Amino acid sequence: MLLHAGCVKKEQKKPFGTITTVEGTVELFEKHRGKWRTVSRSSVFCSGDSIRTKKDGQVSIAFDDSSSIQLAESTMISIIDTVDSAGRRCIITYNTGGEIMAELKGLKEKGTQFIVRTPTAEADAEGTHFFVFFAPVPFITHVKVLHGRVRVCNPLLPLAPPVIIVPGFFTTVRMRIAPQPPVPLNYGQFKKMQRMLGPRRYDFYAKHFKVGHGMALTAPLVPVPMPPVPGLGMKVPGKKWPGGISPVHRPFIRPSAKRPLTPSKTGSPKAAHDGEKKKTSGKKK
């Protein structure tokens, strides 16, 4: 595993997390034992351990303060509690698949650095409440923020500028591509967080961000320019369609296999095409 540049590999052996809630099937890999086992409530989580949830599973891990991490279904993470060169505590969470929700309350007040890493992104939390989702196929990461700020970069592109995600926004990071500019959370993405947030907090954030059956209204949408698609009523270079218009937009226009269509007296391409048909049928008779 790769550690953050400011963190040295000096793991703390003492437990720093306790499993508070367990739903469905959840398994814990204890580093000193080297095998997976089914976890239960009040199990201890140590640095270097891994935890995973099945399709019906969900689990919450509370730190020694009021901070916590919650795993959605089909999620696997590993956590390392280290100390950087300046003596500051540094907690690194490796998300290898699935979605986690981090709530950092007393952790940031103590000056602890909290980082979530995926194969395509690194999220350095400057805030308190955010989500990190990673899909192994097609290697894509989503970082969604509900409170505070999160700095996101691509560790594979050290020269690419990072982006700062503010509440109500999210970013997408793909393989070897810089993080996309933040855009507002839409209703579909917000709805997926309902189970992890719970009814009360979901209603609170839905009212706060004014999320309805549409886009979030916290800020104007950032338009995403779409590349031109040849064939949708536009001129296509190199194509000998009448007037340079593709038949996708004008399906009644068909180029002649022998010679291009000639304009009729009325100037209608369809009339010219009908004229070609009459000439051909007359010759056959």
- Per-residue pLDDT of 240-272, as tens digits, reads 444 444 444 443 334 444 444 444 444 455 555
Task: Report pLDDT for 221.
Answer: 36
Task: Identify whether the C-beta of residue 65 lies closer than 8 Å to the C-beta of residue 18.
Answer: no
Task: Report pLDDT for 220.
Answer: 38
Whether residue 1 is contained in a domain is answered as no
Whether residue 270 is contained in a domain is answered as yes
107-132 average pLDDT score? 87
Task: Report pLDDT for 131.
Answer: 95
Same domain? For 148 and 280 the reply is no
CA separation for the pair 118, 225 (Å, rounded): 28
CA separation for the pair 181, 168 (Å, rounded): 13
Same domain? For 201 and 267 the reply is no
Domain that holds residue 58: 7-208
Q: For residue 224, what pLDDT band results from cuts at 50, 70 and 90?
A: very low
Highest-pLDDT range among 116-120, 231-235, 253-257:
116-120
Whether residue 221 is contained in a domain is answered as no
Whether residue 81 is contained in a domain is answered as yes
Same domain? For 142 and 260 the reply is no
Whether residue 2 is contained in a domain is answered as no
Higher pLDDT, 80 or 279: 80
Same domain? For 108 and 167 the reply is yes
Same domain? For 75 and 29 the reply is yes
Closest to 17 measured CA to CA, from 7, 30, 8:
30
Task: Report pLDDT for 281.
Answer: 52
CA separation for the pair 99, 71 (Å, rounded): 6
Same domain? For 174 and 275 the reply is no
Whether residue 30 is contained in a domain is answered as yes
Domain count, the chain: 2
Task: Report pLDDT for 85.
Answer: 82
Same domain? For 173 and 274 the reply is no
Mean pLDDT, the chain, integer: 76
Final residue of a domain: which of 156, 190, 208? Answer: 208
Same domain? For 176 and 265 the reply is no
In terms of phi and psi (left: phi > 0; alpha: psi -120 to 50; beta: otherwise), the region of 105 is alpha
Whether residue 218 is contained in a domain is answered as no
Percent of the chain with pLDDT over 90: 38
Whether residue 29 is contained in a domain is answered as yes
Task: Report pLDDT for 4.
Answer: 52
Task: Identify whether the C-beta of residue 13 lies closer than 8 Å to the C-beta of residue 81.
Answer: no
Task: Report pLDDT for 182.
Answer: 94
Q: What is the pLDDT of residues 151-208, one digit of tens each?
A: 999 999 989 999 999 999 999 999 889 999 999 988 888 888 888 888 888 888 888 8
Task: Report pLDDT for 212.
Answer: 61
Closest to 184 measured CA to CA, from 204, 212, 226, 160:
212
